[in-house]
Amino acid sequence: MEIKVKNCKIKIIQGDITEQTVDAIVNAANPTLMGGGGVDGAIHRKGGIKILEECKQIRATLYPNGLPTGEAVITSGGNLKAKYVIHTVGPIWRGGNSGEAELLFKAYWNSLNLAKGRGLKSIAFPSISTGAYGYPIDKASTVALNAVKNFLEKENGLEEVIFVLFTAKDLEVYKQKVSEIFNL
């Protein structure tokens, strides 16, 4: 499925984000930036030690107490096909009244802004927060799609944004939400 906002294509596919050939893939990291389970583990396993070393450097300099929820940082892509990895931290789902939507929106927005600031053209996102962090996929997909739509309406430079969903079920939820949010 493919749509357009101004000059930027938005694609929604099922797949493995570590296999994407794009300028940057986004990692649903945790504040330690030291790797973890889910997509974070997969990115570090396939990307190799270089990514972890750069994350350690970021911890030692910019974020000694860890990366706050909603913020984003960038490392190289190590052995991945992607040139860069943008690491962001989504919120843990606590029922929906703890600022989760705003924090998830920020995680997407700050990742896009970092990519744009570096002059990157293509970026791929996983479904941030909907694994171990427990954010319901129907609510998270609404936030994710709105964040990308709003960003692209306001900012120029990006040419391709890909949502890479791991499961067929998540892909179906995203397709449904896309038609609502983009009035298809």
Which residue, among 39, 42, 36, 30, has the nearest Cα to 70 in the 3D structure? 30
Select the residue interacting with ligand ADP from 1, 7, 16, 62 (CB under 6 A): 16
Phi, psi of 41 (to 5 degrees): -60, -45
Q: Which stretch binds ligand ADP (CB under 6 A): 1-9, 94-102, 129-137, 173-181?
A: 129-137
Footprint of ligand ADP on 40-79 (CB under 6 A): 40, 42
In the bound state with ligand ADP, the residue whose beta carbon lies nearer, of 30 and 75, is 30
Query: Could you tell me where the beta strands, DSSP code E, fall in 1-71?
Result: 2-5, 8-14, 24-28
Minimum CB separation from ligand ADP for residue 123, in Å?
14
Q: Which stretch binds ligand ADP (CB under 6 A): 1-9, 32-40, 70-78, 173-181?
A: 32-40
> Whole-angstrom Cα distance, residue 184 to residue 179?
5
39 binds ligand ADP (CB under 6 A): yes
What size, in residues, is the chain? 184
Give least dist CB 6 to ligand ADP, A. 26
CA–centroid distance for 87 within its chain:
8
Per CB under 6 A, the list member of 10, 84, 90, 114 interacting with ligand ADP is 90
Q: Does 112 bind ligand ADP (CB under 6 A)?
A: no
Backbone angles phi, psi at 126, to 5 degrees: -85, 180
Output the CA torsion 145→162→84→134 (10° steps). 50
Decide whether 46 or 157 has the Cβ nearer to ligand ADP: 46
Question: Quick one: which H or E segment has residue 33?
Answer: none
* Site for ligand ADP, rule CB under 6 A: 16-18, 28, 37-40, 42, 90, 126-133, 164, 166, 170
